[in-house]
Amino acid sequence: VIYPPHSKLTDKEKTNICYLSFPDSNSGCLGDTQFCFRFRRSPGRKVSLCCFLDQLDRDLPVYLKKDPAYYYGYVYFRQVRDKSLKRGYFQKSLVLISKLPYVHLFRTMLKQIAPEYFEKSEAFLEAVCSDVDRWPPPISGKILHLPIMGIIMKLRIPTYRDKPGTMPIVQNMHQADAQICMALPTVHEVDLFRCFCPVFFHIQMLWELVLLGEPLVVMAPSPSESSETVLALVSCISPLKYCSDFRPYFTIHDSEFKEYTTRTQAPPSVILGVTNPFFAKTLQHWPHIIRIGDIKLPGEVPKQVKVKKLKNLKTLDSKPGVYTSYKPYLNKDEEIVKQLQKGVQQKRPTEAQSVILRRYFLELTESFIIPLERYVASLMPLQKCISPWKSPPQLRQFSQDDFMKTLEKAGPQLTSGLKGDWIGLYRHFLKSPNFDGWFRSRQKEMTQKLEALHLEALCNENLVFWSQKHTEVETVDLVLKLKNKLLQADREQLPVKTDTLKKLQTHINDIILALPDDLQDILLKTGTT
């Protein structure tokens, strides 16, 4: 069943969803299981919501922006014994498909609706959808109230202006009416400490592998463990966006199975979460494999565990651990391990442990990225180079050698006490998809800033006076260029003050009014559509 019935999915998408919606038979997930997957959208599909979601995307932090090429599937799976059925089991999945990576929100929502859906069937979905129809647009930075079957979920979607690592508290309301209000502390985060517990001593090495976009496979006993671990890995380099593909749960039926498991070329830059024992053989040529057992919070301090050699990984029954021959660039930070171990001894709540771990990853990523930010900012031309009568100047080229020279005085040592081969880590990072994605996004921002400064420079000129000293042909050319500038500012959402745009529109109108009537008519109609 697909609901709403008018939802359009291609046959390939339906097949992918069907296979990804159930745990592999070896997982033995009795009872209720929640997990998530991610799959490629079929190319060439038109989606009416695009422009609307693009506008909302602008204010999101980069790691929460939607990827137009992918969908997320959020699954609530139930398997219980039922002798009345031929197979002896009731097995059903309710799956929510969305472009939005709001794992915690949709997980909470499914927890509210799936158990009742299994009892009441399709008519219940209609009632759920009519509740979702009443939801406000997913605007970031606002407190949103989302009704769902007698409960109101209260949450806030982060904005790019939020200070990284901070989370405004969403308070529970005491409402007089019958509806229960549930405040969600986050829309997208997973329980970081719980996910990294099985590989506790290797968190810093895993951060390096994710940062560098290395091929990583997570072998887990069930889709909930594989999907949570993959999502935790992707989020550990936040506020950087992980720019390669990642699949929280991947099966042998996936349409990209052949592409990702071929031995004819090097493994791709992707993180896969798998549960099928077949993958232990298929992916044994991959350079980095994380094997996790059932995720349980440690009641005692985990013992020190060495990195295991890849040749020791033959089956999915191999011991939990990290199998790789990778040598980390940075020296190990013993402090964070001691701090988390102390938390385990003192029975510190897992939420508090996750906060410590998230702050550690954030400080590590910021120490790494600040020197790059500083160098890239220096590629911006000076404001005095911007002339209203010339095209905006170009950004200077990124030079790896010049950047490396800046590290001696303004490198990560200014904010991090960690020693090690930072230079080697940067060299490797500059070849990775994560650098490519980060730099493109910075380039776009800076080019838009130059366009905005150029617009402001034009506004500060006496354009009517200029037009009086030039021929009609030159004046018409100027008007058309200015109109294009306004359209570009709107289309690309350039960072320009509204007053600047109004001022420019006034300039255009004044120039047109000083021209002969026949030209006025033509120019007033041009560029307005």
On whether residue 454 sits in a domain, the answer given is: no
Element housing 246 (H / E): strand 245-247
Note whether 333 and 471 are same-domain residues.
Answer: no
The whole-angstrom separation of Cα 513 and Cα 517 is 8
Lowest mean pLDDT among 33-37, 155-159, 427-431, 497-501: 497-501
Q: Which two tokens stand for residue 436?
A: 């490519």
E runs forming strands in 167-296: 180-183, 216-219, 245-247, 270-274, 288-291
Tally the C-alpha atoms within 13 A of residue 39's C-alpha that lie toward its C-beta.
28
What torsion do the CA atoms of 353, 359, 360, 361 make, to the nearest 10 degrees? Answer: 110
Residue 110, pLDDT score? 96
Is residue 309 domain-shared with residue 257, that is, in the same domain? yes
Residues in the chain: 529
Classify residue 298 as exposed, middle or buried by CB count within 10 Å of its CB (0-12, 13-18, 19+).
Answer: middle
- For range 220-230, the mean pLDDT: 93
Determine the Cα angle at 10 with ends 7 and 12, to 5°: 140
pLDDT band at 50 (very low <50, low <70, confident <90, very high): low
H helix intervals, 141-277: 192-196, 203-211, 223-235, 257-261
Residue 342 lies in a domain: yes
Which one has a higher pLDDT value, 295 or 323? 323
CB 210 within 8 A of CB 232: no
- State the DSSP string of 482-512: HHHHHHHHHHTT-S--HHHHHHHHHHHHHHH
Q: How many CA atoms lie within 13 A of 355 on its CB side?
A: 10
Residue type, 494: L
The residue type found at 231 is: L
Query: In sequence order, what are the beta bridge partners of 81?
Result: 89
Confidence of residue 294 (pLDDT cuts 50, 70, 90): low
What are residue 469's phi and psi, to 5 degrees? Answer: -95, 0
Residues 379 and 334 in one domain: no
Choice among 24-33, 107-116, 135-144, 286-295 with the minimum mean pLDDT: 24-33
Range in 138-142, 292-296, 380-384 with the lowest mean pLDDT = 292-296
Could you tell me the pTM of the whole model? 0.88
Residues 112 and 198 in one domain: no
332 against 53, higher pLDDT: 332
CA distance 93 to 472: 69
User: Which residues, other chains included, contact 493 with Cβ-Cβ below 8 Å and sequence gap of 6+?
Assistant: 58
For position 296, what pLDDT does the model report?
A: 60
If asked whether residues 158 and 17 sit together in one domain, one would say yes
Greater confidence (492 vs 240) lies with 240
| pLDDT tens track for 433-492 | 999 999 999 999 998 888 888 888 888 878 777 777 788 788 888 888 888 888 888 877
Q: What is the pLDDT of residues 300-312, one digit of tens each?
A: 555 556 677 666 5
Give the number of other Cβ atoms within 10 Å of residue 243's Cβ: 19
Q: Which two tokens stand for residue 389?
A: 């009568």
Residue 35: which pLDDT band, with cuts at 50, 70 and 90? very high
> Tokens 């160098």 sit at which residue?
375
In terms of domains, do 422 and 280 share one? no
Higher pLDDT, residue 44 or 381: 381
pLDDT at 87: 79
End position of a domain, from candidates 340, 357, 374: 357
Q: In what order do the strands lie in the sheet with 245-247?
A: 245-247, 270-274, 216-219, 288-291, 321-324
* Residue labelled with tokens 């010049």: 402
Mean pLDDT along residues 422-435: 96
Phi and psi for 311 in degrees, rounded to 5?
A: -65, -15
What pLDDT does residue 214 have?
96
22 and 46 inside one domain: yes
Tokens at 255, concatenated: 């349409």
Tell me if 438 is assigned to some domain.
Answer: no
* 328 in a structural domain: yes
Give the whole-angstrom CA distance, residue 459 versus residue 454.
9
Assess whether pLDDT exceeds 50 at residue 176: no
pLDDT of residue 26: 65
Q: Roughly what angle, to the nearest 10 degrees, separates helices 203-211 and 350-377?
A: 40
Q: Say which amino acid occupies 77.
A: F
What strands, in cross-sheet order, belong to the sheet with 70-81? 31-40, 70-81, 89-98
Structure tokens at 525: 């109609």
| Mean pLDDT for the stretch of residues 294-305 | 57
- Pairing outcome for strands 143-148 and 321-324: unpaired
44 domain-assigned? yes
Residue whose structure tokens are 């007089």:
176
The answer to whether residue 517 is domain-embedded is yes
**Which CATH number characterizes residue 228's domain?**
3.40.50
Domain limit, last residue, from 338, 357, 376: 357
User: How many domains are there within the chain?
Assistant: 4
Asked if the structure places residue 132 within a domain, the reply is yes
More confident call, 355 vs 176 = 355
Average pLDDT of the chain is 86
Higher pLDDT, 225 or 482: 225
Q: What's the domain range around 319?
A: 192-357
Q: For residue 271, is it within any domain?
A: yes
Phi-psi region of 527 (alpha: psi -120 to 50; beta: other; left: phi over 0): left
pLDDT for res 134: 93
Residues 202 and 333 in one domain: yes
Residue 351 above 70 pLDDT?
yes
Q: Predicted confidence band at 316 (pLDDT cuts at 50, 70, 90)?
A: very low
**Both 321 and 272 in a single domain?**
yes
**Angle between helix 433-459 and helix 498-513 axes, rounded to 10 deg:** 50
Yes or no: say if 100 and 135 are a contact pair by the CB < 8 Å rule. no
Residues 172 and 295 reside in one and the same domain: no
Same-domain pairing of 65 and 146? yes
Q: Is the pLDDT of residue 21 over 70?
A: yes
pLDDT in tens, 179-197: 688 888 899 999 999 899 8
Residue 228 and residue 349 in one domain: yes
